[in-house]
Structure 1
Amino acid sequence: MRAIVYSQNGPSDVLQLAERPVPEPGAGEVRVRVAVSAVNPTDWKNRSGSTSNGQEAEEQTPNQDGAGVIDAVGEGVAHLAPGDRVWMFLSAYQRPGGSAAEFAVVPVERVVKLAEDVSFDVGASLGVPAMTAHRALTVHEGGPSRLSPGALEGRTVLVAGGAGAVGHAAIQLAHWAGATVVSTVSSDAKAALATAAGADAVVNYREEDAASRIREIAPDGVDIVVEVSPAQNAALNAAVLANHGTVSVYANNGGDQVTIDVRSHFALNVRYQFLLLYTVGSEALAAAAEDITAALADGALPVGEAAGLPLSRFPLSETAAAHDAVESGVVGKVLIDVASL
């Protein structure tokens, strides 16, 4: 099979297209013939060595997310079978084989059925972004712990950076669950994308007083902030949070150190919830997979520019360029076409 591999950390040119034997699934594993692989920031960061996915193999195939068709199953796999369309997540976590290959062997608990009417592009775009967004929306002390239509009714959700992949999924899931969704953006073009994703209001923080505008939209304050840049947005969040508000932090864009005013956060009973999908635990991952599947059935998670998430495509042989595109901050989702299924 064709696979992208690397044996040392570094810039994208460490990625090489190679021929490798088709792997065999072991007990509790499935083999997926990959149609589309997706690139997330975590993928280029793992490759570069700036973060680690816990893998210490001599050779690694990158990319956590993808979609395709099950080709074979290992011993003990009962609810999935060859021919099933699926999406997969964290396929390279603590394992040598990610989705940037014609075949990927993945633990069965990281593989989810994909309905016939849902495209592989949508399936590959789920994984890290959608599951991170689900977790961010379900850690408020007053719940909900699960998402469904109406689960966030009466709540206001602020999504920082609504044009990013996680922000896009957070807007879609929060909208599906009935929240009033506000998103901050840095340009008119990104405002259009956040609106297309389902945001009820969009605030350009470079052109207006973001705190005043958000307070106009949500006089009682924001219940949940889905936060990509806590260092830069701490003061804004403090100005708009409701009593018992939660800041769900999933990234450190803009700096590693956060300074907050203790007294004001005391008064509002604020919760800062940090989250990392790799270590969030199997129960949270399983819950996210179930709720995302329900949202897909309702047509709540489309991709493409008309849905607020432009797609950039690369062939498998140009995976290095795909990584570079994500690292450079391309807007939207970067997908790799592996096979036509």
Structure 2
Amino acid sequence: MKTIVYRETGDPSVLQLVDRPVSDPGAGEVRVRIVVSGVNPTDWKSRRGSAPGEPLAFADVVPNQDGAGVVDAVGSGVSNVAVGDRVWLALAAYQRAQGGTAQEYAVLPADHVFLLPTPASFDQGASLGVPAITAYRALTVAEDGPRRLHPGALDGKIVLVAGGAGAVGHAAIQLAGWAGATVITTVSGPEKGALATAAGAHHVLIYTDSDVADEIRRIAPDGVDLIVEVAPAQNSTLDLAVIRNRGSIAVYANNGGDEMTLDVRKHFSLNVRYQFVLLYTVGAEVVLQAAAGINEALVDGALAIGADAGLPLHRFDLAHTAGAHALVESGVTGKVLIDVSAG
């Protein structure tokens, strides 16, 4: 089978196309014929490491955490999926040398494989994983909020999504709106604002505007209930200015800096909760619960993709996975997908 691997950290040129045998699934494992592989920033960050040429934990690594395809074989003890099922994948490459989705067949644990509802496409399935589960988790950590999303779960709540044109921001807008929240988002300019509007945001603001805090307070006089934050170092002052008493700030990335300074007195006077979100360490139960909720949203048509839905698609074939990684690393707006095999 055709497989992409890298044997050392570095730029996209370290990705190589090789042939290798198809592996059989062991107990509790599933083999999936990959139709579409999704590329996320976490994939190129793992490939780059902290410096070029670093040794890896394995002899070689197959990249990409997300994807969608068809179950080809199952090991003993697997009951959540069966041969022939359409599925989407999450954390496929986590702590596994050969689990990544940049290959024709991937073997991974059954609890990283989820049924893909009939209305959803393989493109949608490959666009879930890291962005959608991260967004779901961020929307379910508030002290006064729900632990599970469903229509009506966020009725009466106001959610601020920082960076609404990114993949996680896009999913957060869609999921929050599906659950009944009023969604405000901040973006860098009109072009990204149009994408956030297409995703379903009710209010789209430019974060560089000097009066952005006043605009948010105009929409939410008592403050916002929950902030889904991509750039805490840059936005901590704004977040404090607009969060309500007992509000929560869910941080899932460090865009704009690794350190931030917080005014302790002002934060504890408002009982503000900061919740940091890293998908790899949230725990299996959180991932499973998120996947179930995401599938409900898919059935309801709440997680559309494509330019008309606010998430433009950029396509590559497997042999050009390096180009796909380079495009994501460049900061392109939208979702980068790799066509691996025919659906």
Give the TM bin, normalised by the shorter chain.
over 0.9
Give runs of aligned pairs for residues 290-329 of structure 1, distance below 5 A: 290-329=292-331
Mapped to 2, the partners of 1:25 and 1:222 lie a distance apart of 47
1:57 paired residue number: 58
Deviations 1:178-221 (A, max 9, x none): 00000000110100000110100000122451101100111110
Residues 236-284 of structure 1 deviation map (CA, whole Å, 9 limit, x = unaligned): 0000000111110000000000111111111110001001000000111
In structure 2, the residue matched to 1:179 is 181
Residue 162 of structure 1 corresponds to 164
What is the match of residue 79 of structure 1?
A: 80
Name the SS for the 1:38 alignment partner.
Answer: strand
Structure 2 counterpart of 1:68: 69
Other-structure match for 1:281: 283
Q: How do 1:122-137 and structure 2 match up within 5 A?
A: 122-137=124-139
Amino acid in the other structure paired with 2:303: L
CA distance in 1, matches of 2:297, 2:19: 38
Task: State the alpha-carbon separation in 2 of the partners of residues 131 and 208 from structure 1.
Answer: 33
1:29 aligns with 29
The answer to whether the 8 A contact 2:119-2:298 is kept is no
Range with bigger deviation, 198-207 or 144-153: 198-207
Deviations 1:28-65 (A, max 9, x none): 010000000000000000000139xxx72111000000
Whole-angstrom CA distance in 2 between matches of 1:200 and 1:165: 18
Structure 2 match to 1:10: 10
2: CA distance, partners of 1:205 / 1:193: 15
RMSD: 1.0
The amino acid of 1:185's aligned partner reads V
Shift of 1:89: 0.3
Instruction: Find the aligned partners of 1:295 and 1:208 in 2 and give their Cα distance.
Output: 36
Shift of 1:96: 1.0
Instruction: Name the structure 2 match of 1:191.
Output: 193
Give SS of 2:246's match.
strand
CA distance in 2, matches of 1:127, 1:22: 24
- Corresponding residue of 2:334: 332
The 1-side partners of 2:333 and 2:50 are apart by 22
Unmatched runs of 5 consecutive residues or more in structure 2: none
Residue 213 of structure 1, aligned match among 206, 215, 218? 215
> 1:117 is matched with which residue: 119, 134, 137?
119
Aligned to 1:235: 237
Looking at structure 2, the residues matched to 222 and 253 of structure 1 have their Cα atoms a distance apart, in angstroms, of: 22
CA displacement 1:91-146 (0-9 Å, x = unmatched): 00000120000000010001000122210000000000000000000000112000
The 8 Å contact of residues 80 and 110 in structure 2, kept in 1 or not, is answered as no
Cα distance change, pair 307–208 in 1 and its aligned pair in 2 (3 A):
farther
Unmatched 5+ stretches in structure 1: none
Which residue of the partner structure matches residue 147 of structure 2? 145
User: In the comparison of the two structures, how many residue pairs are matched?
Assistant: 338
Q: Distance in 2 between matches of 1:187 and 1:20?
A: 46
User: 2: CA distance between counterparts of 1:77 and 1:250?
Assistant: 32
How many angstroms apart in 2 are the aligned matches of 1:116 and 1:151? 24
Amino acid across the alignment from 2:186: T
Distance 2:322 2:219 in 1: 43
SS across alignment from 1:257: coil
Three-state SS of the structure 1 residue aligned to 2:70 is: strand
The ranges of structure 1 where at least 4 consecutive aligned residues each deviate by more than 4 angstroms after the TM superposition are: none
CA deviation map 1:139-196 (0-9, x unaligned): 0011200000000111110000000000000000000000000000011010000011
Report the Cα distance in structure 1 between the residues aligned to 2:332 and 2:260, rounded to whole angstroms.
Answer: 26
TM-superposed CA distance for 1:224, in Å, is: 0.6
Quote how far apart the aligned CAs of 1:325 are.
0.5
Classify the secondary structure of the residue corresponding to 1:192. Answer: helix
State the match for 1:94 in structure 2. 95
Equivalent residues in 2 for 1:257-268, closer than 5 Å? 257-268=259-270
- How far apart, CA to CA, are the structure 2 residues paired with 1:209 and 1:305? 29
- 2:188–2:206 contact (8 Å) kept in structure 1: yes
Distance 2:37 2:210 in 1: 38
